[in-house]
Amino acid sequence: MNPKKLKKLKRQLKKERPVSTTNNYITRLERYRELFKQNSTITFLINQILESNRLIQQKLLPQQLPVLELPEDIQDQIFNQIKDQYPLGDPRGDQLWEKLTAELPKLDKLLRSYRDYLEETYGMWAYISAPFISDLAHYLADRPTLEVMAGNGYISHGLRLKQQNVYATDSLDWVQENETGKHLVTEVEKLDAISAIEKYGNQVDFVIMSWSPDGVPIDVQILEKLRSLTKQPTLICIGEPNGATNSADFWKTAKLIEPENTQQLNQHYQPFDLIHDQLYLIK
């Protein structure tokens, strides 16, 4: 496959999110690590995913991830490695070249599918890393915090490990529906978002809302509810404006505040795939 064809395939992949529907995602990555063991760029990316998965499996916060995609010069890298191993014209080199380059588009798609694997396997939508939680806990500074729609509780779990005072809540209506409901990592109180704000809203300084469903207006209802409170806690929203999360009306009405703190909090919350979600401080 020549570079032009590979670039065309990459453009096609960017038009829609890849979906990992297989149960052997990690096994496939391990096979590719063996196949491309001579290429340090590829083995580095695969090892990052494998280590991240290992930590999450153990209910530990994973490391921050690099961008999980093959570099534009990956074919040049492979060509030079094969050239160092076999003389030009050697059929063994030609066969190896055909074998490795034929697998590049599949590997690239697999790397880009890690978020889908996390969603399907662990119910982790926003990628919550240890460095990010350290930054967030430092910002919260033990001030009382409520997390709504906490899901399996990855954010609250990390903050509790930092001795942060946080109430984790979720309706938990989805727990019996699929495999991800078996992966709660911390205690989560069964409360829908509005009920949670009614119970804790006047007791907290911050409310965390991560990856509110795309196009569902619950985020607007949450923002309106917070604005109706006497104390009016700051909303910490993790999402992608006009992208994979939240409703369009939410981003229209959200008032972004504290740009310097927002920038600091996003130092360790950087995109690793085609989703460009970030943390936003909102009133």
Last residue of a domain, one of 67, 90, 121: 121
Q: Clarify whether residues 139 and 155 are in a common domain.
A: yes
Q: Is the pLDDT of residue 24 over 70?
A: yes
Higher pLDDT, 174 or 247: 247
> Which residue type is seen at 124?
M
Task: Report the number of distinct structural domains present in the chain.
Answer: 2
**Cα separation of 28 and 2, whole Å?**
24
Q: Clarify whether residues 155 and 235 are in a common domain.
A: yes
Last residue of a domain, one of 100, 121, 142: 121
CATH number of the domain that residue 201 is part of? 3.40.50.150
Q: Clarify whether residues 163 and 90 are in a common domain.
A: no
Q: Clarify whether residues 134 and 225 are in a common domain.
A: yes
Q: What is the pLDDT of residue 175?
A: 67
91 contacts: CB under 8 Å, gap ≥ 6: none
Choice among 1-15, 180-194, 206-220, 230-244 with the minimum mean pLDDT: 1-15
**Cα separation of 76 and 80, whole Å?**
6
Q: Clarify whether residues 80 and 139 are in a common domain.
A: no
Q: Clarify whether residues 146 and 262 are in a common domain.
A: yes
Q: Clarify whether residues 139 and 245 are in a common domain.
A: yes
Strand ordering across the sheet containing 278-282? 189-190, 166-170, 145-148, 206-210, 234-239, 278-282
Q: Is the pLDDT of residue 246 over 60?
A: yes
Query: What band does 182 get if pLDDT is binned at 50, 70 and 90?
Result: low
Higher pLDDT, 77 or 180: 77
Q: Is the pLDDT of residue 216 over 90?
A: yes
- Residues recorded for the chain: 283
Query: What band does 23 get if pLDDT is binned at 50, 70 and 90?
Result: low
Q: Is the pLDDT of residue 136 over 50?
A: yes
Q: Clarify whether residues 220 and 242 are in a common domain.
A: yes
Query: What band does 196 get if pLDDT is binned at 50, 70 and 90?
Result: very high
The domain of 169 spans 124-282
Q: What is the pTM of this model?
A: 0.88
